[in-house]
């Protein structure tokens, strides 16, 4: 099948994945269906164990769906696997590298996997754009964890894939790498590359992704534009610091991180009522802020009680 202008960059159709063992069966994916259009920056979110990496493994051909189909630019990842692989560049969660080669040699070998010769100009651009130029001759064993992750990004991009998948690319890395990575990936997205991102850093997803899907227990529970998710569920958030115990009725609905407390209010009147209840309970408040809910607030609300979403493109 040749891709057309209307062909989705990525499509999942009723994807199920069931693992069987001595203790019974485990359903990792339960009928997941959605599509990502060419040129989108799409976020796939969910808690640990939701099925995100399983879905990506199926897309990459590292795992096979129990039933259902996955395609990349119209190429089925099973029946037309060679074309699907060429169209895809994946940055995995794990740091996987060959300890016997330098950074430049690693990228040359990766180019060879896709039959690409005379790729030095693009390799040089990748090294420069990802802050690896001064490490080009270094052996992979000599690199820090953050530098190894940069090389993984370069490997995924060395064959110029139209679809880029980033599976937790900034987990455990420093601020400099995050900025470098997002500047470069955002540039590629502006140039027409499709990006699929999974991340637990929801502020990244909110800033970068035009549309977001959320998985919970292997099922799609939300699928919409980021702005619509925020507008449809977000309200006013009361944020403050305190060393006091919260009243039980407020503590159940509050998000507490150390001394920082966030409580949702529907409107200005709700803020006044919350403040009155906090004062009445003797809660001492510091650094009070009133703002809009963010994607983390929306994510938590959806995960705490959402029904599966209608599958749309």
**What would the CATH number be for the domain defined by 10-87+161-230?**
3.40.50.300
Q: Mind listing the pLDDT tens digit of every residue in the chain (313 residues)?
A: 445 567 999 999 999 999 887 778 889 999 999 999 999 999 999 998 899 999 999 999 999 999 999 999 999 999 999 999 999 999 887 777 777 889 999 999 999 988 898 899 999 999 998 888 988 888 888 888 788 888 899 999 999 999 999 998 887 777 877 888 899 999 999 999 999 999 988 999 999 999 999 999 999 999 999 999 888 765 677 888 998 888 887 877 788 888 888 888 777 788 888 888 888 888 888 888 887 778 888 888 888 875 445 444 3
Cβ density class 101-120: b for 16+ within 10 Å, e for less: ebbbebbbebbeeeeeeebe
Scanning the structure block, which residue is given the tokens 């009133």?
Answer: 290
The pTM assigned to this predicted structure is 0.82
Q: What is the pLDDT of residue 13?
A: 97
**Sheet strand arrangement including 75-76:** 24-36, 10-21, 67-72, 75-76
Tokens matching residue 213: 């899907």
Query: Of 308, 289, 41, whose CA–CA distance to 182 is shortest?
Result: 41
**CB contact set of 14 (below 8 Å; sequence gap of 6+):** 31, 32, 33, 67, 68, 69
Sequence spans of domains, the chain: 10-87+161-230, 235-292
Scanning the structure block, which residue is given the tokens 């080009």?
Answer: 136
DSSP state of 245: P
DSSP state of 309: P
Spatial contact of 37 and 9, defined as CB atoms under 8 Å apart: yes
**Phi, psi for 224 (deg, rounded to 5):** -170, 170
């Amino acid at each position: 099948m040749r891709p057309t202008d209307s062909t989705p960059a990525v499509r999942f159709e009723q994807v199920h994945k069931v693992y069987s063992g001595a203790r019974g069966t485990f359903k990792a994916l339960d009928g997941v269906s959605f599509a990502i259009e060419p040129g989108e920056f799409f976020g796939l979110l969910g808690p640990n164990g939701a099925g995100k990496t399983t879905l990506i493994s199926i897309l990459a051909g590292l795992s096979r769906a129990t039933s259902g189909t996955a395609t990349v630019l119209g190429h089925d990842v099973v029946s037309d696997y060679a074309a699907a692989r060429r169209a895809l560049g994946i940055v995995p969660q794990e740091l996987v590298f060959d300890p016997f080669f330098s950074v430049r040699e690693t990228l040359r070998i990766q180019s060879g996997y896709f039959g690409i010769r005379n790729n030095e100009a693009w390799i040089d651009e990748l090294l420069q754009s990802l802050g690896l130029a001064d490490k080009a001759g270094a052996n992979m064993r000599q690199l820090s964890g953050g530098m190894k992750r940069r090389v993984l990004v370069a490997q995924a991009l060395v064959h110029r894939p139209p679809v880029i998948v980033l599976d937790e690319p900034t987990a455990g890395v420093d601020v400099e790498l995050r900025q470098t990575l997002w500047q470069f990936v955002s540039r590629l997205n502006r140039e027409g590359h499709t990006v699929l991102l999974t991340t637990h850093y929801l502020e990244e997803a909110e800033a970068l992704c035009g549309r977001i899907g959320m998985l919970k227990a292997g099922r799609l529970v939300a699928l919409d534009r980021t702005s619509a998710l925020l507008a449809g569920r977000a309200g006013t958030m009361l944020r403050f610091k305190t060393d006091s115990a919260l009243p039980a009725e407020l503590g159940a609905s509050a998000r507490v991180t150390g001394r920082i407390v966030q409580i949702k209010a529907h409107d200005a009147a709700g803020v006044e009522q919350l403040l009155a209840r906090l004062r009445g309970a003797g809660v001492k408040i510091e650094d009070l802020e009133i703002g809009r809910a963010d994607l983390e607030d929306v994510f938590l609300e959806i995960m705490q009680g959402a029904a599966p979403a209608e599958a749309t493109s």
